[in-house]
Amino acid sequence: MPEYLAPGVYVEETSFRQKTIEGVSTSVAAIVGPTRFGQVRGQPVQCTSLADFENNFGDLANLALGGIAAPNYTALSVRAFFDNGGHTIYVARVAHNAAAATATAPRVLPQNTAASVLFQARFPGSGGNLDVVFTPRRSASLLSLLPSTSDADIVLLRLSQVRKAQLNTPAAALADALFPLQKLVALAQNKPADANNPDRYEFEAGQRIFIVDTTGAPHLHDIAGFAPSITTDQSVRDGARKSTLSQAGLGDAPLFTVPGGPALAQYLGATSTPANFYATANADGSTLTFAHALNASVATDTQLPTALAAADLAPGPGAAGPLYHNAFDISVQRNGLSIYGIQGVSLEFNAPVSLGTALPMNPVRSSDRLTQPIAVSYGTPAHNASDVWAALDAAFDPALRVPANPAATPQLVIHLTNGTDGTAPTVADYIGEMNDQLGSYGLAALEDIEVVSMVLCPAAAADPATHLGVITAMQQHCNKMRYRMGIIEAGQGSSVADVQAFRAQLSDTRLALYYPWVKTASPDGSGDVILPPSGFLAGIYADTDVLRGVHKAPANEVIQGVTGLELYVNTFQQEVLNPAGINCLRLFPNRGYRVWGGRTLSDDPDWRYVNVRRYFMFLEHSIDNSTQWVVFEPNGEALWANVTATVSDFLYSEWRNGHLLGSKPDQAYFVRCDRTTMTQNDLDNGRLVCLVGVAPLKPAEFVIFRIGQKTADA
């Protein structure tokens, strides 16, 4: 009660409305089983599409459990769930003795200290056998090849954004300059770069370059601006080699000089470079000179683009900084398709976006842990950028770096290998455990996800050794969580007698059994694969709930994505199976494949039907969630009246929507919360007891038309 201490006008807010009850969702499923990739411990991952699933848990390709290929039942069941109208599914991966894929980039430093950069798939599984593709950022490129757009016989060399510190010369004016490589004859400047080697030149502002065009006419270009000046004869000043622009007079003139190193020389050496294009390094490896034999035909040599592009990706420490690319775009690929990318990663250890910070072993954000498929760690001691590059240099696939096909683009690719799926999960793996420190897994991990209303473990049905044990664990889980239904199946290849014997071992209102297994298209297009039906049924449950409501039995619905059934059940066989609560999948001419059963495995007639069981779970869960405000309220007539009105309003809405049986409200439900439902002992012990009764709509399972003869009246 507010206090009024000073005279004045007081305006207060109050509510004259009853509390309302909001219906909970019943269309959210959860699946537990092995996958090719993804976290094993931690909160189950919410997936709202098949792409979501593949990003977190790998593709739909077969698993190799114990070295034996097996269909990826979990992934294929998730696909079936979405194909049949499902919208949200939580995935809890289980794995037994699975190993993570790794790739180590080793290097021995001059001090003979072993150092490495370790690339590791963040989670175990064969789906972690990924490719890490490094692409140098074009803004940091030193040189690359461009095809001529005007003349196919001319190869163009681009110098883009060369930094002064790298060349030790004012070379900024060279940005985006194009040179016809075949006709580039000589470079000249005020004096040679090295007095002991007059054939070596370096760029400087104001320098002039002689170029001979395709007609043989000479051109003189200034470095600053490249304004062409045509001349018929020109000499090079200050001790540089004089030239009449004749091939015989120029010989093997150096083209240009850049800082380099042995690692760069190996890609421009005799093994990978045409004889008419070569590079030489000085003794300490700090400078590389690119040279071109004038009397050779560059344009007809198809290997030259490969050699130059490889040079573009090569490292080499310079006097004022390394020449290698220090900024990369990284793409993580599976089967040639990119599944994750990050831009502008630096090799500098302390850079804002370095390998270690971009792909850490232990991300701070949980979202990064889920979405980043790989992690990177450095060996000891800590490396500088050139050490990191040298380590990476040893790990890149040489066949992709200098491809045999000249038309192929050179790539810097590190392969992660040796990721395995382990062996088939055990019952203990499916049961899992709650662990706040290491992370929960298995069915236990689903206990923190309140919105789940359906649980399935389709992969367990493929293993006779664990199948019944996993279903028993599902049964215990669903009863513990109260508001969940387990969707199960018999083993693959079960006959009618087999499924009857299997069903005889189970009895529960929260389990629904479907038979037989179904055929669907395999993910690689090689034919059909036989799958457990639970993934298809979970999608149908969810779709029916959204379109019609949970009160509608998820039966007489078309099964999407089915190409056949493992066994075709006829009417006489179903007459044996249906009374036992075994729901059959049937093929009807001109009506397709349909769910032709809607029973639970309960031996109690009150809970015989799936929709009745799930509708009561919906009512109970909705009332449970929306009446938490009642706790610790004064337990008297005012509270009882409020609770009665709140629940009655909710049930009235359900009746008006056609979800309850009865022509008027008092035939459809009743709500009592008064002295008739509570004793003094209840009140003394703080208990509020509300009695609710509803008349559910049971499915018209048997539709009977009685037809007889009659005599026509006059």
Q: What is the pLDDT of residues 192-203, one digit of tens each?
A: 334 444 333 333
Average pLDDT, whole number, for the chain? 74
> Is residue 280's pLDDT more than 80?
no
Is 343 strand, coil or helix?
strand
What does the buried/exposed string (b/e) look like for 203-217 if buried means 16 or more CB atoms within 10 Å of the residue's CB? Answer: bbeebbbbbbeeeee
- pTM recorded for the entire structure: 0.75
CB 415 within 8 A of CB 332: no
> Is residue 363's pLDDT more than 60?
yes
> Is residue 276's pLDDT more than 70?
no
Distance of CA 125 to the CA centre of its chain: 14
Q: What are the residues facing 157 on neighbouring strands?
A: 145, 179
pLDDT at 526: 84
C-alpha distances in angstroms, 205 versus 162, 241, 318? Answer: 13, 19, 20
pLDDT at 248: 22
- Report how far residue 566's alpha carbon sits from residue 628's, in angstroms, rounded to the nearest whole number: 48
- Report how far residue 125's alpha carbon sits from residue 210's, in angstroms, rounded to the nearest whole number: 59
Residue among 293, 1, 257, 303 at smallest CA distance from 142: 257
Q: What are the residues facing 221 on neighbouring strands?
A: 209, 228
Q: Supply φ then ψ for residue 403, to 5 degrees.
A: -65, 150
**Each residue's pLDDT tens digit, 500-521:** 999 999 999 999 999 999 999 9
Is 135 strand, coil or helix?
strand
pLDDT at 63: 94
> Is residue 150's pLDDT more than 80?
no
Q: What is the DSSP letter of 523?
A: T
> Is residue 618's pLDDT more than 50?
yes
Tokens of 121: 């798939």
- Report how far residue 410's alpha carbon sits from residue 396's, in angstroms, rounded to the nearest whole number: 11
- Report how far residue 127's alpha carbon sits from residue 419's, in angstroms, rounded to the nearest whole number: 7
- Report how far residue 319's alpha carbon sits from residue 286's, in angstroms, rounded to the nearest whole number: 7
CB 453 within 8 A of CB 486: no
- As a whole number, mean pLDDT of residues 208-235 equals 31
pLDDT at 173: 28
Order of strands across the sheet with 485-489?
45-47, 88-93, 28-33, 454-456, 485-489, 511-515, 582-588, 592-596
- Report how far residue 481's alpha carbon sits from residue 90's, in angstroms, rounded to the nearest whole number: 16
C-alpha distances in angstroms, 159 versus 39, 255, 298, 448, 504? Answer: 45, 13, 18, 58, 78
- As a whole number, mean pLDDT of residues 83-89 equals 96
> Is residue 594's pLDDT more than 80?
yes
- Report how far residue 405's alpha carbon sits from residue 422's, in angstroms, rounded to the nearest whole number: 37
The count of other CB atoms within 10 Å of the CB of residue 302 is: 11
Query: Sorting pLDDT into bands at 50, 70 and 90, what band is 299?
Result: very low
- As a whole number, mean pLDDT of residues 430-455 equals 94
Domain boundaries, the chain: 28-98+423-548+555-597, 102-137+325-415, 142-312
CB 256 within 8 A of CB 290: yes
Q: How far apart are the first and last CA of the chain?
A: 82
Least confident of 52-61, 168-177, 253-262, 409-418: 168-177
CB 538 within 8 A of CB 487: yes
Strands 155-159 and 485-489: unpaired
CB 60 within 8 A of CB 76: yes
Query: Sorting pLDDT into bands at 50, 70 and 90, what band is 134?
Result: confident
- Report how far residue 166's alpha carbon sits from residue 505's, in angstroms, rounded to the nearest whole number: 77
- Report how far residue 126's alpha carbon sits from residue 68's, in angstroms, rounded to the nearest whole number: 13
Tally the residues of the chain. 714
CB 416 within 8 A of CB 119: yes
Tokens of 295: 């009397």
Placement of tokens 């009397």 in the chain? 295
- Report how far residue 22's alpha carbon sits from residue 19's, in angstroms, rounded to the nearest whole number: 10
- As a whole number, mean pLDDT of residues 480-509 equals 96
C-alpha distances in angstroms, 88 versus 53, 81, 440, 707? Answer: 11, 9, 21, 47
Residue among 334, 327, 376 at smallest CA distance from 351: 327
Query: Sorting pLDDT into bands at 50, 70 and 90, what band is 114?
Result: low
Q: What is the CA radius of gyration of the chain?
A: 37
309 or 521: which carries more pLDDT confidence? 521
pLDDT at 110: 44
- Report how far residue 538's alpha carbon sits from residue 598's, in angstroms, rounded to the nearest whole number: 13
pLDDT at 381: 54
> Is residue 371's pLDDT more than 80?
yes
Q: Which CATH entry fits the domain spanning 28-98+423-548+555-597: 3.30.70.20, 3.40.50.11780, 3.40.50.2300, 3.30.365.10?
A: 3.40.50.11780
Give 99's contacts (C-beta < 8 A, 6+ positions apart).
124, 418, 419, 420, 422
- Report how far residue 601's alpha carbon sits from residue 583's, in angstroms, rounded to the nearest whole number: 10
Residue among 74, 58, 69, 64 at smallest CA distance from 121: 58
The count of other CB atoms within 10 Å of the CB of residue 568 is: 12
